[in-house]
Amino acid sequence: MPMTLARRILLATVAFSGLTALSGCGLLVVGGTAATTAAVATDRRTAGEQVEDQAIELKAGAEMRRLFEDRARVNATSYAGTVLLSGDVPTAQDKQQAADAVRKIEKVRKVVNELRVGDITPISVRTNDTWITSKVKANLVNTKEVPSRTINVTTERGIVYLLGKVTAAEGERAGKAAASVPGVNKVVKLFQIVSPESLQDRPSPAPVENATSLSPAAPTEPADSGVQTMPVK
């Protein structure tokens, strides 16, 4: 009897998966997180990278709770092994401790430590950040030749962080679209730049990491510095 029940559950699961795939709007569960099939199909990370990123975020979250309990607010966002740490911690030592802990997690390639030292950000500010994130995502969707489905958006105190695999031109367009949203103080681009050729029916080569910042009224950096700045409208 147990084997019969197991077979029935398996057959039901397979049938349900087939129906959701055909519907085009079903949910695909990867690593315990639901994502639309369309989003998975257009994400430039491999399926393995997506699962690894979700595992990294779960492990980082558990580690931060172990280290700080309710003394801090730490968000870990992973994209292809690059982990953005954002939020608030009490001391500079805590900030360093958080980054060191995340670096030890399997499959983490790089940690971008943007944690702020100070009191936990008020809920009103965080609510506004959520609104900004939604507006930036909408702008990316509505901007031509921007692969919005493969770009991750995080906002902290009006600073927008963009992660994803994009070409240089796509990254430039995405940065301008994000910078045009009211309430954005700065846009930090943490893109992995890939060539247009790498997107043509073949695996992407090892991406070149490129972090750029778009801030209001900031002076233009030298052309060879790897950093570009522009006013936020």
Per residue in 13-29, pLDDT (tens digit) is 444 444 434 333 333 33
Q: Where are the alpha helices (DSSP H) in 89-219?
A: 92-103, 123-142, 168-179
Q: Which residues contact 128 (CB under 8 A, 6 or more apart)?
A: 158, 183
Work out the pLDDT band at 42, boundaries 50, 70, 90: confident
Report the pLDDT value the prediction gives residue 200, as an integer from 0 to 100. 80
pTM of the model: 0.72
Whether residue 113 lies inside any domain: the answer is yes
On whether both 128 and 180 belong to a single domain, the answer is yes
**H or E stretch including 88?**
strand 82-89
Find the range with the poorest average confidence among 69-73, 132-136, 198-202: 198-202
Residue environment code for 64-95, b if the CB has 16+ CB neighbours within 10 A, otherwise e: beeebeeebbbbbbbbbbbbbbbbbbeeeebb
Please tell me the least confidently modeled range out of 8-22, 73-87, 195-209. 8-22
Question: What's the CATH number where 101 sits?
Answer: 3.30.1340.30
Q: Do residues 187 and 163 both lie within one domain? A: yes
What is the bridge-based pairing of β-strands 33-36 and 151-156?
unpaired
Domain that holds residue 12: 2-42
* Whether the predicted pLDDT of 120 surpasses 70: yes
Q: Is the dihedral of CA 121, 127, 131, 133 positive or negative?
A: positive
